[in-house]
Structure 1
Amino acid sequence: MITLQKLSRNHFFTALCVILLTACSDPTSEQKSLNPTPIKYQAPPIVGTSIASFNGPRSNYTVTIGTSEIKVIDNVGNDGDIRLATSIQLLNFSDISINLTIPVKAKTITEVELSALIELYIAYFNRVPDAEGLSYWIDRFKAGMSLNEIGESFYSAAIFYSAQTGYSASLTNNEFVKIIYKNVLGRPNPDQSGLDYWTQRLDNGEATRGTLIHTMLDAAHTYKGDANFGWVAQLIENKTIVSKDFAITKGISYISPSDSITKGMSIAATITPNDISVANGLIDALIGVSNTDVVQPSAAQAARFLHQSTFGANNAAITNLSNLGFRNWINTQFIAPQTLHRHYMDSVAATLPRGLSDLNQNHFFESFWQQVVKGDDQLRQRVSFALSQIMVVSFQDSTVANYPRGVASYYDTLNTHAFTNFRELLEAVSLHPMMGIYLTSLRNQKESGTRIPDENYAREVMQLFTTGLYKLNQDGSYVIENGRPVETYNNADISGLAKVFTGWSWAGPDKTSNRFYGGSADVNRDWQPMQSYPSFHSTSPKSFIGITIPNQAPANPEASLKIALDALFNHPNVAPFIGKQLIQRLVTSNPSPQYIARVSAAFNNNGQGVRGDMKAVIKAILLDVEARNDPSLGNAGVGKLREPILRLANWLRAFGAKSTSGFYRITSLDDPLSGLGQTPMRSPSVFNFYRPGYVPPNSSIASAQLVSPEMQITAETSVVGYLNFMRDTIANGTGSSRDVKGDYASLAALATTPDQLLDKVNLLLMANQMSSTLRGQIIAAVNSIAIPTTTQTAIDTAKLNRVYMSIYLTMASPEYLVQK
C-alpha cells in the first residue's frame, strides 16, 4: 500500500506539470463591440514618422527588420503587407509594442548597471521589465538618478498598482520584508530570525526600503556556487537572462501598464533555478513563432500528435501519420466516413425479444468503445468526445436514460457536425429531443397566466454552449469595465430567450396537442429533431443580448429560432469561449492568450470569409506552434492531465485490445474505486465531469492562478482506484466477463531485451517522452522478474509479466498521466 500512497501524492503533484500560464489583458473598444459580423479590423495601420500602429496582436504578424526597410506582414487580419522606413522606432500592436531602439540604448550603460536596473524589477515586482519602462529608467540613470532613488520610485509605483503587486501605503516593514524574501530569495516563508533581523533594520532606520533591496540582492549574489543556497543566485541570474531577452532583445512592452505588471509576473513565475524554457515558450507565443509544417513527422512526433487528435496511438496509426504528415492526415480524416451509433443500436434491437424496448445504455457503451478501438475516423471521434463535454447530455438523467438509442443519436449528431459549421452544430443540438429532455426545452410552453416559459435551455445555451458568463476579448481574457468583468447577459435576457424555445416537442406526422404532450409516440421520435407547434409558441416580444424579436402574428417558432441562434452564433464571445475549451480538451489546460486568439481568428474567418468553420478551428488548434512544439519533460508549461476515459482508450488502442464477444462489453466505469470514476455520456451534471476553469483549492495551482480541469474528478480514492483498475485490466482484461483483452504477442517477443520492450511502450503511450530516470526505474523493475529455464509455460508467463510490469508502471507514472 505504501507504493500506491506514494503514487497518489505524485499524481496530485503532476498537476503542476499540466499547466501553461495564462493572463488577462485589457479590452480594446473593438473587442467590446457586439457586432455580429465576423471580426475584421476596421481601420488601416497608422504609420507616423517614428511609430507604426497595427490592429491585431503581435503574434498575427511576421516582422522582418532589414538594413533598408522594416517589413510587417499581417498573417491573419486585413492590415496587409506594410513596408516601413528604418526611422521607425516603435511598433504598436493591440497587445504589445516592440521598441526597436532599446538594444542600442542598453549598450550605453555597463552590463553591471543594466543588470542592477533589471534586478529592481525582480526585487520589487518579481516580473520581467517592459522595454519602454526599462528604456525610461536607463535615461534617468544616465541623467544622474541613483539606483536607490529609482528604487524609491518603483516602490511608489508598486503602491499605485496595489491590486496587482500586493503592496499598499500601509504595508508594515515586516510585510515588506516578506515580499522581498519571496521576490529576491525565492522564499515565500522566510526564517523568523532573518525576518526579524531585516525588519529591525528598517524599524531602527538603519536602512530604507530602497537600500534594503540592494543589500538583499547583494547577499543573494554571494550564494553563487554554494552547495546549499547556490540556487538563490542562479534563480536571480535566470530571471535576469529572461528579462534581457524580453525587454532588450525582443523589445516587448504590454500596452496596458497593469498588464506589464501582472503578465510580467506570470512570465517570471515560471522561471526556476534550473529551467527558463517555460518563460521562453511564453515569450515566443507572445511574439508569434513561425510553425513549419513537418512533411514527414518522426515516430515520436506522430505519436504525440495522435494523443492530441485521437483516442491514442498504435503502430499502424503512427506509420500512416508519419507517411502523410500532419496536414494531409487531418484532410484525410475530414473525409473519413462516419459510422452511426444509432445504426448499431438498431441492429442490436433487432436481436432482442422486445426490440427497441430492451435496449439500454450498455449497448451504447459497446458502440462507443468499438469505434474508439477500431474506428478509422479517429479525429472525428476525439473531437466529438470533446464536444460531448461542452454540450452535455447525460444518462445520469433518469428520463434521458429511458432513450438509449436517442443518446446514441445525440452522439451521432456531435460526430456529424464536428466537421461542419458551428452554426449547424448549434441548431442540431438545440433541436435534438435528448437535449430537449435533458434541459427541459421539449414541451416548453408559452407564457399564460402565472406560467412562464421554462428558462433552463435558454440559460445553458448561453452560459455553456456559446457566450459564457462574461464578455471576452478574442484572446479569452475578460472585458474589464470599472475594474470588473462585464456580464454577457442578465436575467431579462434569459427570460426573453426562453420564449424562443417554446412550442418545440416530439417529431411526428402531425402537430396535435396530443403529440406535443407525448401521446401517439412516433417510433423514431427519440432521434428525429424536435418539430414546432405554433399554438404553444410565444408571440410576445422576445428581447435578449441586444436583439428583439417583435410580436408575431401568427406564431412562427422557426423564425424565432433562426434569429436567436444567429445572434448567439455571431456573438464575439463564441470564438474564444468555444475555441479555448476545445484547446483544453485536445492539447493543453492553460493555452496562452495568443494561442486562443489565433484559434479565435480561425473561427471568425476560415480564410474565405466563413465564420464557424469547424474544420478551420480544428486545424488551427492542432497545427498551432504551441501544439506542435516538441515539449521537454522538464517544461512544466505544456499539456493536460489525461482524464480516465482517455487513459483506458490509450491502452485499448496501443495494445490492439480485442473483444472475445466482438461487442466490446465495457459497461459503467463510474465507481472511482472499482472503475475509473468516469463513463462516457454519464456526466453528473450539465457542467460536465469537470469545469474548464476548475482550480484545486488550497493548492500550488491555485497560488499560481492556474486551472487544471481534470483535477476536479481526481481524489485519493480515484487515484488508488485507477491504479488498481489498470493493474487488473492490463493482465486480465476488462469489461463483462473480461470481454476485452490486450494483445501482447509482439511485446512478449521483446521481453528478453527490456530496453527494447520499454522503447516500444514508451513510443505508444508517451511518444518517447519518458525521462531517463523513469526509464531506469522501470527497466530495473522488469529485470527483477526472472525468466526461468524450465518449462515453456513458465517462460511465457514470465515474459508476459515483464510486459505487464512495463505497461503498468508507465501508465502509473506522473509522466504518463500528463499528456504533453
Structure 2
Amino acid sequence: MQQLPQSPSVAVCLVRCGLLATAIFAGTLIGCSNSVSSGGTGGGGTPSVQVAVTGSSAVRVGSTAQYAAAVTGTANTSVTWEINGLVGGSAATGTISNSGLYSAPATLPANATLTVTAVSQVSASASGTESVALQNPVPILTSATALQVGSSLSYAVDVIGTSFVQGATINYGSTAQSTTFVSSTELQATITVPSGTTSIGLSVTNPNPGSSSSSTATVSITFFTTTATTAARLLDQATFGPTTAAITQVQQMGVSAWIQNQFSQPTTTLAAIPTNPLPTLCFSSNTAYSCAESEWWQAVITGPDQLRQRVAFALSEMFVISTQTVPGQTIPAYHNMLANDAFTNFATIMHDVSVSPGMGDYLNMLNSAKPATGQIANENYARENMQLFTIGLDLLNQDGSLQLDGSGNPIPAYTQAQVQAFARAYTGWTYGNAAGTTLTKFPNSTADWVDPMQPVDSAHDTTSKTLLNSTVLPAGQTTTQDLAGALGNLFNHPNAGPFVCKQLIQHLVTSTPSPAYVSRVAAVFANNGSGVRGDMQAVITAILTDQEARAGDTNASFDGGHFREPILFITAMMRAFNFSNTSTTGSWVSLSTYSNNLNERPYRANSVFNFFPPDYVIPATTINAPEFGIENTATATLQESLADSIVNNKISAFTVDLSNTSSWGVLAANPTNLVTALNTLLMHSQMPSAMQTAIVNTITPLTSNAQRVRIAIFLIVTSPQYKIIH
C-alpha cells in the first residue's frame, strides 16, 4: 500500500474532518476540503457552514409555531431539529417536525424556557438556536351561570370553557374573584352583586407566564328571596326533616348563612352507657345497644345541630360498625366522635375512626399484634379501610369515573401485597384507658369502649412497608408513626376526593350525581381555596350549594334526589308534626322497632357494607339508587302500616296532636290551604298539581277537620312522590 503524503495540508484535513481512516483508490488519497468544517476556517478565515434559526420567542401551550433554519456555506441546507438537545423533542417539552413545526405541550413543564436547535446535517458542530418561553394558553369562556346563595346579593358563579389553568381567576367586571379551579373546563366563584343589578360581565384570566384574558360573557341576574321551597328542600337534604320553624329560619337567614350557623352549633352528644348496671331505660340487661339507640333517636330528632347530626349519620353509613358484632357500649363514643369530627378535616375523621375501640373491635385492628415470622397480620381493617372508607377498589378520575387501561378494563387501586403492608402498619393497638396513661402490656385485658385505643410499640411490626404510589414507611418507626404514615398515604391518594365526596353527595342530595357535580366537590376536597385538603366545612358547603343541589329550588320538574331511607322517613314525621315522647322511662328506643321492620336500625347494619351499598343498581335498570337496596314489597307494605300508625297517633311511647283544635285541624277548615301547607312542609312544593287536586277532592267531603288532616298526611307520605327526596 502506498504511504500517505506527510504534508501539513493533509494533516489539517484529517483533523478537521475527524477522519480515523482513509480510503485509497487507484493510489490516490481521497480526503476532504477544509471548507466543509464549520469549526475551522478556509483561506479567508470565515466559517465554512453556518446555521441561523428564526421563529417566535414565545409560544403558548397547546399551540404550534413554525421555525426556519438558514444554512450557509454548503449546498446541503438540510438540518435536524432538536428541543433541549433531544432530536424531535418530547411530550413534556413539545415536539418538532422535520420541517421545523413546533407543537407545544398541553401543559407547562417545570421549566417553561426551552431551546429550539437546528443542526446542520453536513456537520454536527454547525447549529443555530432560538430561546423560547412557553406561556399559558388564552382562556376561552363559552358559558356562565349565576345561582343565588345565602343573601339576596350573593351568587355562586360557574364558568364553562376551555384552556383554564391552575391559578386562573373569574373576573367580575375588572375585579378578580377568589376562584376555585374545578378543571381545565370549569371554574367557580362566589360574588356579591349590588342590589338592582340585572346582568353582570364575567371573564377569565389565566396567570403568568403569558397572562391573558378571555372575552367577556354577560350573565343575567334575577334577585329573589329564599323561598319556603328552597328552605324546605335544603332542610330535607341537610337535616332529619323540615319543620315549620326551621323553614322560617332558613328563609330569614338565607342558605349560606344557615349553613354557617349550623357549623357553629355545639354537638348534641349521646350519654355514655355504664357497663353495669345498665340504666332502666335500656329495658333489658343484655341489650345495651337499645340504650344507645334511644340516645341516638332523641339527639337526631331534637338536637339543634341538625346538619352536624345528619353528616354524622352519613359518615356512620360510610365508616360502618354494627351492634350485631360490637357491644352497645361502643356506640355513644363512636357517634359522638363522628359528630364532633363532622366539620373538621377528613384526615381527622380517618384517624379518629381508626383508633376508636368500636372500629378496632369490629374490623379486628384492636389487639392485632405483629405477626410471627412467615405469617401475616390481620388484614380486615387494612382492606376495608381502602375498599369502603377511603379510595375504593379501582383508580378514579376526579369526576368519579373509572380510569381504564389500554384494554378498557378498570385499574385496581391496590394489590394484595399492599393490603398486607397496611395490615402490618396497623399493628400494636389495644384498649385505652380514661387516664390516658402509657400502656406497656399487650393486649390490655380491660375493655374500654369510650376512650381511643392506645399504641404498644412492643407489639408493633417495625419492618419497612411499601404502600401506595411507591410510598415506603421506613423500618424502625413507632406504632403511632406508622399509623400516621399509612393514613396519610390514603388521605393524599387522588381517589380519596372523588370516592368520599360522591358518597357524601349520595347520602345528602342525590343518588346519581353528574360527573361534573362530583368533580366540582372533589376539587374543593383537594383544595378549599386556601390550600387545605379535606376541609369538611368546605366540602359540605360545596355539596349543599352546588348548582345541581339547588336546581330543584326553582325547577319543579327537576329529576334528581334519592330514596327516603326508613330512618329518615321516621325522623321526618317526628319532626314535621312535633311528636312528643310520653314514655315514663324517657326512652326513644321504641322507634327502632318500626325502623327495624323496614330493614334499618341505627348502628345495626348486617355487614360493613352498610344497610345498602353505594353502588346498588335497581334490578333491570341502570339506575344507581343505593337506598332501594332495602326496599321490597314487604317493607313497602309495612311502611304504609307505619304511616297509618303515625296519623292515627298509635306510635308507641309518642303522641301527636292532629285534632280539630290543633293548628293543623284549624287549617283543615279549608282543604286547599291544608294541602298547600303540607305540600310545602313535606314535599317542598313539588307535589304534582294532579296529586294536589286528588287529595283536596278526597278530603273535602269529610266533616271532621282532624280526619281531613290524617287522611291528607297519609296520602302524601305513602305516595311514590314523597318516597323520593327530590
- Normalised by the length of structure 2, the TM-score is 0.69
C-alpha contact 2:346 2:535 (8 A) present in aligned 1: yes
Greater share of residues in strand: 2
**Which residue of the partner structure matches residue 743 of structure 1?**
657
C-alpha contact 1:73 1:81 (8 A) present in aligned 2: no
**Which residue of the partner structure matches residue 688 of structure 1?**
610
C-alpha contact 1:59 1:594 (8 A) present in aligned 2: no
Q: Does 1:516 align with 2:452?
A: no
Q: Does 1:79 align with 2:8?
A: no
1:811 CA displacement:
0.4
1:781 CA displacement:
2.1
Q: 1:531 to 1:804 in 2, by over 3 A?
A: same
**Which residue of the partner structure matches residue 467 of structure 1?**
391
C-alpha contact 1:431 1:529 (8 A) present in aligned 2: yes
**Which residue of the partner structure matches residue 546 of structure 1?**
469
How do 1:225-264 and structure 2 match up within 5 A? none
In structure 2, C-alpha distance between the alignment counterparts of 1:671 and 1:772, rounded to whole Å? 32
Q: 1:42 to 1:569 in 2, by over 3 A?
A: farther
Q: 1:429 to 1:665 in 2, by over 3 A?
A: same
**Which residue of the partner structure matches residue 384 of structure 1?**
312
C-alpha contact 1:60 1:74 (8 A) present in aligned 2: no
Letter in structure 1 aligned against 2:238: S
Letter in structure 2 aligned against 1:388: S
In structure 1, C-alpha distance between the alignment counterparts of 2:220 and 2:725, rounded to whole Å? 21
1:757 CA displacement:
1.3
1:82 CA displacement:
9.0
1:481 CA displacement:
1.6
Residue by residue over 1:211-260, the C-alpha shift from the partner in whole angstroms, topping out at 9 and shown as x without a partner, is xxxxxxxxxxxxxxxxxxxxxxxxxxxxxxxxxxxxxxxxxxxxxxxxxx
**Which residue of the partner structure matches residue 724 of structure 1?**
641
Computed over aligned residues only, the root mean square deviation of the Cα atoms, in angstroms, reads: 3.7
Residue by residue over 1:336-375, the C-alpha shift from the partner in whole angstroms, topping out at 9 and shown as x without a partner, is 01121135x4699785599997771111121112122211
Letter in structure 2 aligned against 1:506: Y
Residue by residue over 1:410-450, the C-alpha shift from the partner in whole angstroms, topping out at 9 and shown as x without a partner, is 01111011100000010000000000001111010111045
1:752 CA displacement:
2.3
1:783 CA displacement:
2.4
* 3-state SS of paired residue (1:311): coil
How do 1:160-309 and structure 2 match up within 5 A? 296-309=225-238
In structure 1, C-alpha distance between the alignment counterparts of 2:401 and 2:411, rounded to whole Å? 11
In structure 1, C-alpha distance between the alignment counterparts of 2:498 and 2:391, rounded to whole Å? 9
C-alpha contact 1:445 1:503 (8 A) present in aligned 2: yes
**Which residue of the partner structure matches residue 583 of structure 2?**
661
C-alpha contact 1:349 1:355 (8 A) present in aligned 2: no
Q: 1:54 to 1:436 in 2, by over 3 A?
A: farther
* 3-state SS of paired residue (2:648): helix
How do 1:286-685 and structure 2 match up within 5 A? 296-343=225-272, 345=273, 351-352=279-280, 360-397=288-325, 400=326, 402=327, 404-482=328-406, 483-508=408-433, 516-519=442-445, 521=446, 525-550=448-473, 552-553=475-476, 556-630=478-552, 635=557, 637-661=559-583, 663-667=586-590, 669=592, 675-685=597-607
Residue by residue over 1:112-134, the C-alpha shift from the partner in whole angstroms, topping out at 9 and shown as x without a partner, is xxxxxxxxxxxxxxxxxxxxxxx
In structure 2, C-alpha distance between the alignment counterparts of 1:76 and 1:330, rounded to whole Å? 30
Q: 1:552 to 1:643 in 2, by over 3 A?
A: same
In structure 2, C-alpha distance between the alignment counterparts of 1:585 and 1:803, rounded to whole Å? 31
C-alpha contact 2:389 2:500 (8 A) present in aligned 1: yes
In structure 2, C-alpha distance between the alignment counterparts of 1:335 and 1:500, rounded to whole Å? 36
1:536 CA displacement:
1.0
* 3-state SS of paired residue (2:466): strand
1:636 CA displacement:
6.2
1:293 CA displacement:
11
In structure 2, C-alpha distance between the alignment counterparts of 1:347 and 1:492, rounded to whole Å? 40
In structure 1, C-alpha distance between the alignment counterparts of 2:275 and 2:575, rounded to whole Å? 25
C-alpha contact 1:631 1:638 (8 A) present in aligned 2: no
* 3-state SS of paired residue (2:390): coil
Residue by residue over 1:471-508, the C-alpha shift from the partner in whole angstroms, topping out at 9 and shown as x without a partner, is 11111111122111211101011011100111101003
In structure 2, C-alpha distance between the alignment counterparts of 1:336 and 1:430, rounded to whole Å? 26
Letter in structure 1 aligned against 2:581: S
1:635 CA displacement:
3.7
C-alpha contact 1:669 1:676 (8 A) present in aligned 2: no
* 3-state SS of paired residue (2:530): coil
1:697 CA displacement:
2.1
Give aligned-pair identity as a percent: 35
Pairs aligned (count): 544
1:817 CA displacement:
0.8
1:696 CA displacement:
1.8
1:407 CA displacement:
1.0
Q: 1:624 to 1:353 in 2, by over 3 A?
A: closer
Residue by residue over 1:594-625, the C-alpha shift from the partner in whole angstroms, topping out at 9 and shown as x without a partner, is 11111011111111111100000000000001
**Which residue of the partner structure matches residue 806 of structure 1?**
712
In structure 1, C-alpha distance between the alignment counterparts of 2:299 and 2:516, rounded to whole Å? 34
Q: 1:497 to 1:292 in 2, by over 3 A?
A: farther
Q: 1:569 to 1:664 in 2, by over 3 A?
A: same
**Which residue of the partner structure matches residue 37 of structure 2?**
none
Residue by residue over 1:772-791, the C-alpha shift from the partner in whole angstroms, topping out at 9 and shown as x without a partner, is 11111212221243x2xxxx
The unaligned stretches of length 5 or more in structure 1 are: 1-28, 31-40, 63-69, 84-92, 98-287, 788-797
1:740 CA displacement:
1.6
1:546 CA displacement:
2.6
C-alpha contact 2:699 2:711 (8 A) present in aligned 1: yes
Higher relative contact order structure (alpha carbons within 8 Å, sequence separation ≥ 6): 1
1:74 CA displacement:
9.4
Letter in structure 2 aligned against 1:299: A
C-alpha contact 2:366 2:430 (8 A) present in aligned 1: yes
C-alpha contact 1:504 1:532 (8 A) present in aligned 2: yes
C-alpha contact 1:642 1:818 (8 A) present in aligned 2: yes
1:802 CA displacement:
1.7
C-alpha contact 1:342 1:412 (8 A) present in aligned 2: no
1:647 CA displacement:
0.9
- Normalised by the length of structure 1, the TM-score is 0.61
Residue by residue over 1:271-324, the C-alpha shift from the partner in whole angstroms, topping out at 9 and shown as x without a partner, is xxxxxxxxxxxxxxxxx9989898741111111110011111111101111000
1:804 CA displacement:
1.2
